[in-house]
Structure 1
Amino acid sequence: MVALPPPDLFELYYDGAFHDRTVDVRASAGVTMSRGVSAEGTRAQPSAADMLLDNRHGDYSRRNPMSALWGKIGPNTPMRYSIDAGHPYLLLPGDTTSALTCPDAAALGVTDLDIRIELALDSYTNSQEVVSRGIGSQRSWTLLLGSGLQLSWYPDGTFASQKTAGIAVAVPAVPRQRIALRVVLDVNDGAGGHLVTYYWAPTIDATVWTPLGSATSGAGTTTLFDGTAGVHLGTNTGLVGNGLAGRVYAFQLWDGATSTRKVNLDFSTAEAGDTSFTAADGVVWTVASAATLSNRHIRMAGEIPAWPPQRDASGANRTVPVGPAGITRRLDAGNKPLESAYLRFIRAAGPIECWPLTDGAQTTSPASLVAGTPMPPLISFGSGPVKWAEGQIAGWVEPVALIPPSTDATMRGLIPASVPAASGWSVDLAISGLIDGSVDLQAVDRGAGTDADNRLGFTVDMDADGNQILVSVVAAGTTSSSSTLLTTLASPGIFDDLPHHVRLTVIPQPGLSNSAWTLYVDGVSRASGTYAVVADAPLSARLGWFQNAVTTNTPSVGFITAWTSAGPTAADMYEALLGFQGETAGDRYLRLCDEQGVPAALMGTAADTTPLGVQQREKFLDALASIARADGGYALEQRDDRALLYRPRTTLYNQPPAITLDFSSGVISEPFEPLDDEKLTENDVTVQREGGTFGRASRETIAEGPLSVEAIGRYDEAHTLSLADDSQTLQQAGWRMHVGTVDGLRYPQITIDLANPRVWPLIRSIYLADVGDKIRLTNLPDDDGPDDVDLIIRGYKETVTSKKWQITFTCTPGTPYDVLQLDAPAYGRLDTGGSQLASGISSSATSLSVTVTGAALWSTTAGDRPFDIVVGGERMTVTNLTGASSPQTFTVTRSVNGVVKSHLAAAPVKLAQALAIPL
């Protein structure tokens, strides 16, 4: 057995750094950690841990002034807990001398270059040298990372012969996320040129590599210099000033001309702390400078919310039980009223001043949104006050002020002084329902009001009766004043019951002795020009109105906002007012976190996530959960940092397994209790778009599958989701029905004893696996069926004590996430609409006559083979296929999965890997 407890590290953050406090962790009490979605849940819970700290020294008695940590720890003190386990990885500090190197060898010579590297970098945007071969007059190739990727190669070994091909496409990974990168140089593309292609994948052993950007073609064929230099992982050539910072888990060098792997570095033969080792392929690698081989893994980064002191009766045994938690525990505290996307956006963008006009019904003077503003709020003048909390700009925006009939009044408030505003400023108004009468928005600058320094009042008059907007300016001096009409915008399109945004921007231009102005309506510039006086920063804002005595059309007004020129664009403001409809799940997740001041990252790319509907008025974490619910992904905390992470549904598709567990080898522990039930079944699914229509999908007949309504009864589910368009509802319903009708055993929990010596070679894979990754079970008992089983990790619980070291993964079926991917041969084939044996076959027959009952025949193209089919639970590999009409003839290799049996006529014939069209 592996010695217990494993080497661990417990750190507390104080005095500006993390400090090792491992000696205080009571190993006998152990450490228990949980992460992700619980067995019965649908929403990720805050990461959590339990541990007992020895407090005989009194350091954790934070109320005791004599404590060594007095004033240094308290509620939500940051912590980290790590374990050293498994095969190591290369840890590079980011300097220009640290690297892992190997000497020259025959294996380094290739015709077509194919570099593959699996890493987790501190940054994927900093300029860094990733891996290279050669320096000086022995240069062969170099892979650089920065705003994109760049390959340099040197046909004659000198810098003067350098050729480069790069892509300005960001690597789709967040800081410290593990990803595999690949670059292929085809020195002769067969058309008189050469070609460089970049790819990425979740791991280096992936069967599907996704292109990064477009392939770069070059004129003329080229060559690779095969000199006497070895390979450097990390900085070597000095082409960029930054060294590689982060972790390298594997490196492979292939000869693309022959599809031969020449170098295979996976650290499986190394030990943590080694300065030199021989890889399994015989290549000797040596650590240089401050690079190290480490097997440390951060298992939790969180905060300790409380420090309850405990002691026994004698007082000699003093302890503090602590329950570290992820940051979502803190982010979910309190009961702050929900805010609209528009209000959140304004608040986060930092205006000079904003009066939302969302005050309560008894308001006499509306409040400012800008905390600490030493100016009075808006003051009303005129024939009648507005009706507070009765106006509605849009259903997803807070109630605002309603302008009643028979009123002619103004509201005015002072705008705080702002130095940046002297170079440019804007004033905004949100409005709806202005059909009769008029509303005007005015901003007055800080001019002295003298003849030499006029005070300027820029006014936007929204005249519904005239179906026009008039922009004018009044210049007031000591002895005289003047009024200038700057523009009249006819038919502006705002006089209806829809939400609208109006902005006036003024940019002083001292060098031209004038001020440029622009009128924006619903995010679009509708008029612009100049005024022959240089404006100052804004002093005040005024909202005025005139409503007819007899009218049923009462406008709603809100969010009078002043910005510097660095504020959000008018287009962004209008998009926010509309609740960011059409925004992708990834973009919304990052935006909300940014508005909240919470560091966050996105796996994959935002463009591949679901377009969402109007952002509703929800608490922060509820809004993140709405995103994950619509997209089908996971809203999580980062495991190694106090930050958030979103993993979209698309990152679950066609993954290679992060962990492969061979049941027959004894690496899976008790309890091992697969379930053969219908608990996750949804065979009749309705999806309603928030504020829109619905779509429904169902499997009704036995011919559609064993979990159809006819086969097991109706399991109907309804989901209401934030979607951008009504057309998405049917797609969403179909996908959820697909996920809910996968026929197979469920493995809700998989337990692994990490102290089991047979598990030791797998520990690095186990520790790198996280929520959303795939586990593959192989060589299962006959009762479980003959085939491998794929599972998606939803969460896990890990326990580390002096007697036990165990992890239990909470899982859901992974098969639904095998989807059609046309650029990947392994995932590029769909099943027919139906096929069956035309006649029965014996247990050894290798020729099948197959009748196609669907609309499409099986492909007879040689390049589409081989592929596997399943007949009566037996897996067969199709090596040849003929026939231009049904029935077609299959030549097969039998019993691929160990099942040996005969089959009757009409037995269904299906693809072994049933793929779905992805959402």
Structure 2
Amino acid sequence: MAFPQTPIELLAEMQIGGTWTDITGDLYRRAPLTIERGRPDEATRVDPSKATFQLNNRANKYSPRNPRSANYGLIGRNTPVRFSVAGPESYLATTGVSGDIVATPDHASLDIVGDIDVRIEATADWSRGIQQTLIGKWPSADGQRSWYLRIINDILVFVWTPTGLFANAVVASTLMPQLPRRAAVRATLDVDNGAGAWTASLYWAESLAGPWVLFSTITGTSTTSIHSGTAPLEIAPTHVNGTETRHPWKGRLHRAEVRSGIGGSVVASPDVRALAPGTTSWADSAGRTWTVAGAASISAREYRLHAEVSSWPPRWDVSGRDVYVPGEAAGILRRLGQGQKALASTLARRLPTQGPVAYWPMEDGRDAEQAYSPIVGCPPLPTVGFTFGQDDTCPGSAALPSLDAAAIMAGPVPTYTSLTNGWLLSLIYQLEAPSSTLQPWLAFRTSGTVAGLVVSYDSATIEVAGYDATDTQIVSEVFSNSDTFGPGKWYRFDLSAQQNGGNVDFHMGWVEVDGLGTEWNFSEPGTVGTVTRIETAFGADFSGMKIGHLSIFPSSDLSVWGGSDNGFGGEFADTRLARLGSEEGVPITPDFAPTTMGAQRPASLLTLLAECEAADGGVLYEDREAIALRYRARQSLYSQPVALTLNYTTDGHVAPPLEPVDDDQRVRNDRTVRRTGGSSARAVDETSALSVQAPPLGVGTYDDSRDLNLRDDSQVEPIAAWSLRLGTWDEARYPTVHIDLAAAPSLIPDVLALDIGDRIQIINPPDWLPPGPIDLIVEGYTEVIGHPNDWDIILNCSPAGPWSVAVLDDVTTGRGDTAGSTLASGVNSTATSMSVATPSGPLWATSGETPFDIRVGGEVMTVTAVSGASSPQTFTVTRSVNAVVKAHSSAADVRLAQPMILAL
């Protein structure tokens, strides 16, 4: 019997011939759909997602190798498949691609020139590492711009212009608090605050219904206004400001409002929650007509997995009547993991994409006798005296050749037409020591007035000699040289020429890879021509020099390197993830992750992605709403809101078994972190219950070491300290939490929204467990959808406690603990006054700090008053806040229940 549609309303779709096709009716109920995502119990890496299911194949639809199948040639290995269930409400799905929007035409009511109030409730990656425009009247064409609201990294930005011109834009922006995935943001603008200035205020709330939390007020120096404009009001628009593209937002719109005046009349109110899926146009409560465009869509589906069918094994019973396929689909990580070919160096990957007419990487093997060219139509460059594969210390390159005392490189450059009446010749090199005499270093020919150019230099001088077509010298330029060599230093050399009226402007520059540079310029009469031939016989004193990535471009644009010469060292982890995804055609959506990376060396794609994940400390996982990857940054895990609350005792939200594990699987109390190619740092716990001390004072030594691809040595010490915190968190693990959604259907909306890295809590645990809440991070899950009334999800979890860090001005996590306090005398189980001794460090504050929670012997108490100017002090407390009732002896440790912990 095929899988029923109700009450779970599962939808299974397969991309047959490029079209998503409903295959739900062919799913067998006897083999429930099982989905696995994320990390298994305590694993360090995310596994590829997996779905297992059975398809009815009596009609021969799922036999990709059978020409009698209706789907022959339309399905096969890695055919996309997706599974979804009906969600509690509709939403507008935005893609982050230009043109995939919803908009309403301009209307007189939208032409607000005074105070304005803009609100939007969305599900979004609020800390995604690119600019995302949420809503606005701000076309790319200048002149009719009014305002827009956008996010960039963790910053909310409201922009307006009084004139309609980008040049007169006014910006109000600030760092946002950490928001739940579904949240509302709001911007108000008071164009005249009564004090001769404007005031913009930024808020957030859990929904458009509020209550609104003000997190920033920005005040200008004069009054302002908003250009009325004729542009439509758009949600998820694309804006181009000069050379900068402000990308549309990717996520879900639930509803939005634009009000004329702060808290004033509603002039636009798109609310998609009750719209029928597939709606393309509707009128909102303010009378505005909204139209969906591009690939944006109204949907009510909650996708549980997007994957690729990796196996199509045909099966049948002995009668031949039960023909089926036990299908298995996997996420994109499986396919990416099948090929482990190392990606080429960053220089070899970037330079060919910049339009060179000739390019010789010189990353050839040790036995090579010429330099290969990856450019179609460009022949190899003949060489003499080159020993290839000798030095791989340039951050952006694989191993490059070394020259002997009679080295030559000479060969033609393909004929080309200059794009801008200019050219650029570039290379990188390393020279341990300069020549003591002036010797030729580079020579080549052009079709211009200066038909031959020879660059020579020694320890003090750089000389450029130019020759006409008859080899008569017509150019002699001499420059002082002090910064173009040095032991272990790599340099990038650029020599460009550009026609400027009747003259040719020459630019010559040396830039230390990952450092500073020197440049010289000169101009000569004549025409620029094109580079026609490399013709260099190196001076004997350049023996031992390393050289590579010789390239010629048909314009004088110096931006071709783009950071590739130093292996993109110093770029943020999220920038590298997005760049690698773009280069390799793998969709990756990263959070803003400002951990600076070291050089990207040749390695497989998954290895390079894993380097970013390891350096930042977040989690790279598969998107369930697309065949794509997502990266959740470390900082998004800090002190995050609770996404799902499970009531164990009262509501029975947790299905059996709930089995804590108190083991040493994650214990690491001696941690060393090394920077690849750099220094290291060690962090050791010598005092806690999980310290390196022998039992019973500790647990003995559990050590490890990790190599991380970081930018500089200053990063290793704080990472080692943070790693030690994660490895010495003293709490039982709850490896799995089982939720029976058929028994607790009220949890379905929150469970559907739950994703990898989210925080959950189990409240009211049984009395035989420590008092709650049990605070957990979701590392992954297994989801089983079977019988119409069977829907189970088993969460793989780890403790959330280590991720609770200081939040500035927060009354709970923003307090500093003492250096060590104890009870000066014992107390019984009901005493509400106690004497607390603090032998060293600052005393507890006696005013302005209460109430706050302390923990004594496992009991949490709320301190309502502190008195005493010297130790011991008197605490007035409310007992048994966490339902622990017990007496405490003298010298019992007194600590904040939630001390301030600084994040990495």
TM-score, normalization by structure 2? 0.81
Q: Report the CA distance between 1:466 and its aligned residue.
A: 3.5
Q: Report the CA distance between 1:584 and its aligned residue.
A: 2.5
In structure 2, which of residues 175, 180, 185 is the aligned counterpart of residue 181 of structure 1? 185
**1:247 correspondence with 2:252:** yes
1:89 to 1:238, Cα distance in 2 relative to 1, 3 A: farther
- Structure 1 match to 2:581: 593
Q: Report the CA distance between 1:29 and its aligned residue.
A: 2.2
Kindly indicate whether the alpha-carbon contact (under 8 Å) linking 1:421 and 1:538 is maintained by their aligned counterparts in 2.
Answer: no
Between the aligned partners of 1:887 and 1:207, the Cα distance in structure 2 is 43
Q: Report the CA distance between 1:206 and its aligned residue.
A: 12
Kindly indicate whether the alpha-carbon contact (under 8 Å) linking 2:28 and 2:56 is maintained by their aligned counterparts in 1.
Answer: yes
**1:484 correspondence with 2:488:** no
Q: Report the CA distance between 1:648 and its aligned residue.
A: 1.3
- Structure 1 match to 2:806: 820
- Structure 2 match to 1:494: 485
1:507 to 1:114, Cα distance in 2 relative to 1, 3 A: closer
In structure 1, which of residues 882, 891, 895 is the aligned counterpart of residue 880 of structure 2? 895
- Residue type matched to 2:451 in 1? L
> Residues 263-304 of structure 1: CA distance to partner in whole angstroms, max 9, x if unpaired?
xx99999798799xxxxxxx9999986789854111222323
In structure 2, which of residues 301, 304, 309 is the aligned counterpart of residue 296 of structure 1? 301
SS at structure 2 position matched to 1:701: coil
- Residue type matched to 2:187 in 1? V
- Structure 2 match to 1:725: 712
SS at structure 2 position matched to 1:402: strand
Q: Report the CA distance between 1:801 and its aligned residue.
A: 1.9
- Structure 2 match to 1:530: 523
**1:23 correspondence with 2:25:** yes
1:284 to 1:97, Cα distance in 2 relative to 1, 3 A: closer
Between the aligned partners of 2:87 and 2:873, the Cα distance in structure 1 is 54
Between the aligned partners of 2:519 and 2:831, the Cα distance in structure 1 is 76
- Residue type matched to 2:101 in 1? G
- Residue type matched to 2:526 in 1? V
Kindly indicate whether the alpha-carbon contact (under 8 Å) linking 1:515 and 1:534 is maintained by their aligned counterparts in 2.
Answer: no
- Structure 2 match to 1:386: 386
1:677 to 1:241, Cα distance in 2 relative to 1, 3 A: same
Between the aligned partners of 2:676 and 2:224, the Cα distance in structure 1 is 57
- Structure 2 match to 1:102: none
Q: Report the CA distance between 1:362 and its aligned residue.
A: 2.1
- Residue type matched to 1:695 in 2? A
Kindly indicate whether the alpha-carbon contact (under 8 Å) linking 2:104 and 2:234 is maintained by their aligned counterparts in 1.
Answer: no
1:475 to 1:850, Cα distance in 2 relative to 1, 3 A: farther
1:395 to 1:580, Cα distance in 2 relative to 1, 3 A: closer
Kindly indicate whether the alpha-carbon contact (under 8 Å) linking 2:424 and 2:554 is maintained by their aligned counterparts in 1.
Answer: yes
1:460 to 1:63, Cα distance in 2 relative to 1, 3 A: farther
Between the aligned partners of 2:720 and 2:210, the Cα distance in structure 1 is 30
Q: Report the CA distance between 1:312 and its aligned residue.
A: 4.3
1:95 to 1:842, Cα distance in 2 relative to 1, 3 A: same
1:773 to 1:143, Cα distance in 2 relative to 1, 3 A: same
Question: Counterparts in 2 of 1:488-637, with a 5 A limit?
Answer: 488-509=479-500, 511=501, 513-522=503-512, 524=517, 526-548=519-541, 554-565=544-555, 569=559, 572-573=562-563, 576-603=564-591, 605-606=592-593, 609-637=594-622
1:499 to 1:58, Cα distance in 2 relative to 1, 3 A: same
SS at structure 2 position matched to 1:385: strand
1:836 to 1:268, Cα distance in 2 relative to 1, 3 A: farther
Kindly indicate whether the alpha-carbon contact (under 8 Å) linking 1:361 and 1:389 is maintained by their aligned counterparts in 2.
Answer: yes
Q: Report the CA distance between 1:736 and its aligned residue.
A: 1.0
Between the aligned partners of 1:733 and 1:153, the Cα distance in structure 2 is 47
> Residues 10-53 of structure 1: CA distance to partner in whole angstroms, max 9, x if unpaired?
23335554333333333432322222222242112222222333
> Residues 596-630 of structure 1: CA distance to partner in whole angstroms, max 9, x if unpaired?
23222221x24xx3223333432111111122112
**1:375 correspondence with 2:378:** yes
Kindly indicate whether the alpha-carbon contact (under 8 Å) linking 1:86 and 1:762 is maintained by their aligned counterparts in 2.
Answer: no
> Residues 339-382 of structure 1: CA distance to partner in whole angstroms, max 9, x if unpaired?
43443444565644321212122212221133xx12320113xx
- Structure 1 match to 2:841: 855
> Residues 689-724 of structure 1: CA distance to partner in whole angstroms, max 9, x if unpaired?
222222122221358979997322222222222222
Kindly indicate whether the alpha-carbon contact (under 8 Å) linking 1:129 and 1:240 is maintained by their aligned counterparts in 2.
Answer: no
> Residues 414-459 of structure 1: CA distance to partner in whole angstroms, max 9, x if unpaired?
44455564444322222123425556334544x3xxxxx6473444
1:29 to 1:591, Cα distance in 2 relative to 1, 3 A: same
1:513 to 1:546, Cα distance in 2 relative to 1, 3 A: closer
1:515 to 1:727, Cα distance in 2 relative to 1, 3 A: closer
Between the aligned partners of 1:508 and 1:20, the Cα distance in structure 2 is 62
1:182 to 1:847, Cα distance in 2 relative to 1, 3 A: farther
1:397 to 1:5, Cα distance in 2 relative to 1, 3 A: farther
Between the aligned partners of 1:543 and 1:350, the Cα distance in structure 2 is 24
SS at structure 2 position matched to 1:386: strand
- Structure 2 match to 1:838: 824
1:394 to 1:809, Cα distance in 2 relative to 1, 3 A: same
Q: Report the CA distance between 1:815 and its aligned residue.
A: 0.7
**1:685 correspondence with 2:686:** no
Between the aligned partners of 1:776 and 1:205, the Cα distance in structure 2 is 25
**1:33 correspondence with 2:20:** no
> Residues 194-244 of structure 1: CA distance to partner in whole angstroms, max 9, x if unpaired?
632335699999999896xx7421468999xxxxxxxxxxxx998634245
- Structure 2 match to 1:737: 724
1:562 to 1:316, Cα distance in 2 relative to 1, 3 A: farther
SS at structure 2 position matched to 1:527: strand
Between the aligned partners of 2:42 and 2:603, the Cα distance in structure 1 is 24
Q: Report the CA distance between 1:785 and its aligned residue.
A: 0.9
Question: Counterparts in 2 of 1:223-234, with a 5 A limit?
Answer: none
1:351 to 1:324, Cα distance in 2 relative to 1, 3 A: farther
- Structure 2 match to 1:136: none
- Greater shift, 309-318 or 735-744, is seen at 309-318
Q: For structure 1, which runs of at least 5 residues remain unmatched after alignment?
A: 99-110, 132-140, 224-235, 276-282, 448-452
Kindly indicate whether the alpha-carbon contact (under 8 Å) linking 1:188 and 1:195 is maintained by their aligned counterparts in 2.
Answer: yes
Q: Report the CA distance between 1:632 and its aligned residue.
A: 0.8
- Residue type matched to 2:382 in 1? I
Between the aligned partners of 1:839 and 1:219, the Cα distance in structure 2 is 59
Between the aligned partners of 1:885 and 1:20, the Cα distance in structure 2 is 74
1:118 to 1:668, Cα distance in 2 relative to 1, 3 A: same
- Greater shift, 187-196 or 644-653, is seen at 187-196
SS at structure 2 position matched to 1:772: coil
**1:800 correspondence with 2:785:** yes
1:90 to 1:871, Cα distance in 2 relative to 1, 3 A: farther
- Structure 1 match to 2:466: 473
- Residue type matched to 2:495 in 1? L
> Residues 112-136 of structure 1: CA distance to partner in whole angstroms, max 9, x if unpaired?
97957343499986765479xxxxx
**1:440 correspondence with 2:428:** no
SS at structure 2 position matched to 1:733: helix
Kindly indicate whether the alpha-carbon contact (under 8 Å) linking 1:354 and 1:369 is maintained by their aligned counterparts in 2.
Answer: yes
Q: Report the CA distance between 1:814 and its aligned residue.
A: 0.8
SS at structure 2 position matched to 1:712: coil
In structure 2, which of residues 317, 330, 334 is the aligned counterpart of residue 325 of structure 1? 330
Q: For structure 2, which runs of at least 5 residues remain unmatched after alignment?
A: 95-99, 106-114, 138-145, 237-248
> Residues 317-344 of structure 1: CA distance to partner in whole angstroms, max 9, x if unpaired?
4433332222222222234245434434
Kindly indicate whether the alpha-carbon contact (under 8 Å) linking 1:489 and 1:527 is maintained by their aligned counterparts in 2.
Answer: no
Kindly indicate whether the alpha-carbon contact (under 8 Å) linking 1:128 and 1:240 is maintained by their aligned counterparts in 2.
Answer: no
- Residue type matched to 1:588 in 2? R
- Structure 1 match to 2:75: 73
1:811 to 1:186, Cα distance in 2 relative to 1, 3 A: farther
Between the aligned partners of 1:840 and 1:748, the Cα distance in structure 2 is 37
**1:456 correspondence with 2:451:** yes
Between the aligned partners of 1:521 and 1:577, the Cα distance in structure 2 is 10
1:519 to 1:788, Cα distance in 2 relative to 1, 3 A: same
- Residue type matched to 1:377 in 2? P
SS at structure 2 position matched to 1:81: strand
- Structure 2 match to 1:228: none
